[in-house]
Amino acid sequence: MTLDAALLAAHAAGDRAALIALYTQAADAASGDAAAFYLTHAMVFALEAGDPRADTLRARLLAEGREEA
């Protein structure tokens, strides 16, 4: 299954844990604006789920100048 297909399936299933992991994976494979886009989505899903990965994702966005302290 491609990453895009996996993202669509996770959205359809409402699987937040998978969405966090898949958007993080997409960010890791991208650069620039695309990476920030995927990281932001991963962080939002993590925040909504109360997932501790939100802190790490936010730190990555801060380090890339995409989030303010």
Residue 21 pLDDT: 98
pTM: 0.93
Residue 68 pLDDT: 87
Residue 47 pLDDT: 97
The packing angle between helices 32-49 and 16-29, to 10°, is: 160
Residue 67 pLDDT: 86
Residue 7 near residue 40 (C-beta atoms within 8 A): no
* pLDDT beneath 70, residues of the chain: none
C-alpha neighbours within 13 Å on the C-beta side of residue 68: 0
Residue 44 pLDDT: 97
Residue 55 pLDDT: 96
Distance CA 21, CA 23 (A): 6
